[in-house]
Structure 1
Amino acid sequence: MSTDGWTEAVRHQLGLGRLLPMGEAPDGAWLIEAAARTVLRRSADEVPGVRLGPLRISPVDGAPTEEPAVPPPPSALWPGPLRIGAEFTATRLEPFPALADRLRAALAEAAAGRLGLRVTEVDLRVAGVERPGEPAEDETPATACPSGTPPESGPAREDSPEARVASTALAVPGVARLGGAFGGRGGAVRLDQPTGPHRPGHLRVELAVSAGHRPLDVARAVRRAVAGTLPDHPTVAVLVTAVD
């Protein structure tokens, strides 16, 4: 990859945020933070009386983490408890604690029930009150994985192991499409060969999840489906890049 191409790839990845662990260490599944924020904002939009502002997801300070059961994607967080930190604006006159409680419950439920994230803390800060008729402050929308991809990424050969894995993954219910983070469609399946005798290879599969499907459940199903696709039964990690 050229210098310009590498620079573009780094900029692309930085816009996605952290790679968040889903489920537990044996699940081998991660979710791009930008995709998680999109789903959480949708849930916050359903809470009356609040307008969600900036939101970040991070590891809980000082909490123990577990070594992943499979090699994680580059720079991915190790499995462990997560924290949501967010600001909100009150859009109607109501005690702030009541508004915060509703928003906190909605975010926690969405993180676990809609995504599969192990969120144990939701820290909210009131940014102000939006008066009737007052325009909302501009916010930077949480964007799921951009459709653009780093350059110099081509499709896998139709007869390649990567192509067989891609076809198997696309057949799993809830998989909308492949690619979108580290290399587009051609880089959606990465196969690392065994590093020694009697050691399996490793697969990383990047995919987007269809609306109405829980990313953790889809990732688990993909791992089960593709693990037996290749003869050496490689380990499998799944990275969810978007939730439609």
Structure 2
Amino acid sequence: MTGDGQWGHDGWAQAVRSRLGLGRLLPLGGAGDGAWIAEEAAVAVLRRAACGVPGTVLGKLRIAPDGTGVAADAAVPAPPSALPPGPLRVEAEAEAVAGGESLPAVADRLRDALFGACADALGLGVTEVDVRVTGLLEARPGPSVVAGPDARPDPSAVVGPDRGAAALRGPEAEAAAAVPGVAHLTGVLGAAVHRTGYHVRVELAVAPGRRALDVAAAVRSAVAAAAGPDRSVAVLVTAVELP
């Protein structure tokens, strides 16, 4: 195999590993919002929210369609294999300190924290959060205990083939990168700005403290203005940077 062939194989393998690390691509907002977020990026935000619930350790955490089968057609072409817009459900497992509050009260506090993060930090259309307390802890956990058995690499550490200075090519990329709340453009599925006919898809990381759906909406407006008339724009959030 030639050197060029080896580099091509290595690059493809890295792209596959990066894509698998994202998990599902979840709809942000509704059918008209044209935005999606990687499940692992959303999970990282929810785990941080769970840190504010004392006396608990969050374990497995999953975000998926709520099972009703209700979905809508997105207003713009979706990223590859992305879920269609529709209601979502969060399933969480946690351990709680023995001898403290009742387990239903602990579950309620954790449920409220996760619901709040879904709405206020992300903009996910979550209709149900199911929290199960699966075990008891003898000692009160420290605030840094956030990892669970399903923990995978933080998507903010996933380096795509087009991340960095090379991602800032063209008016659409420059417009997206200039939007407040955009930490940087990414390129996990390929180019940070992917153009196909009259459609543009932008991949990005959201800066700390910014609501993902609001940033995505601002990016769509800025990119649409830069791309010219009759262009549809979709945004994929691959990471949400934490404070």
**TM-score under structure 1 length normalisation:** 0.86
- What is the alpha-carbon distance in structure 1 between the residues aligned to residue 209 and residue 26 of structure 2? 20
Alignment of 1:80-119 (within 5 A): 80-93=86-99, 94-119=101-126
Q: CA distance change for structure 1 residues 210 and 122 in 2, over 3 Å: closer, same or farther?
A: same
State the Cα deviation string for residues 107-160 of structure 1 (Å, max 9, x = none): 0111011100000111122120011289989734354315343558896697xx
Correspondence for 2:194? 190
- What is the alpha-carbon distance in structure 2 between the residues aligned to residue 19 and residue 58 of structure 1? 10
**SS, match of residue 155 in structure 2:** coil
Superposed displacement of residue 63, structure 1: 3.1
State the Cα deviation string for residues 55-82 of structure 1 (Å, max 9, x = none): 0100011231001000000011000000
Q: CA distance change for structure 1 residues 38 and 180 in 2, over 3 Å: closer, same or farther?
A: farther
Moved more, 23-32 or 86-95: 86-95
Q: Which of 6, 9, 23 is equivalent to 2:29?
A: 23
**SS, match of residue 237 in structure 1:** strand
Q: Report the AA paired with residue 30 of structure 2.
A: E
Superposed displacement of residue 50, structure 1: 1.1
Correspondence for 2:148? 139
Q: Does 1:181 align with 2:188?
A: yes
Superposed displacement of residue 221, structure 1: 0.5
**8 Å CA contact retained: 2:58, 2:147:** no
Correspondence for 1:197? none
**8 Å CA contact retained: 1:49, 1:90:** yes
- What is the alpha-carbon distance in structure 2 between the residues aligned to residue 168 and residue 41 of structure 1? 31
**8 Å CA contact retained: 1:147, 1:180:** no
**SS, match of residue 27 in structure 1:** coil
What percentage of residue pairs aligned between the two structures are identical? 52
Provide the aligned length of Structure 1 versus Structure 2: 231
**8 Å CA contact retained: 2:173, 2:193:** yes
Q: CA distance change for structure 1 residues 133 and 228 in 2, over 3 Å: closer, same or farther?
A: closer
Task: Name structure 1 gaps, 5 residues minimum.
Answer: 194-200
Runs (4+) of structure 1 exceeding 4 A deviation are 133-138, 150-158
Q: Report the AA paired with residue 76 of structure 1.
A: A
Q: Which of 211, 222, 234 is equivalent to 1:214?
A: 211
- What is the alpha-carbon distance in structure 1 between the residues aligned to residue 64 and residue 161 of structure 2? 29
Q: CA distance change for structure 1 residues 204 and 98 in 2, over 3 Å: closer, same or farther?
A: same
Higher helix proportion (structure 1 or 2) = 2
Moved more, 229-238 or 114-123: 229-238
Q: Which of 231, 234, 238 is equivalent to 2:235?
A: 238
CA-atom RMSD in angstroms: 2.5
Correspondence for 2:51? 45
**TM-score under structure 2 length normalisation:** 0.86
- What is the alpha-carbon distance in structure 1 between the residues aligned to residue 17 and residue 183 of structure 2? 25
Q: Report the AA paired with residue 40 of structure 1.
A: L
**8 Å CA contact retained: 2:34, 2:235:** yes
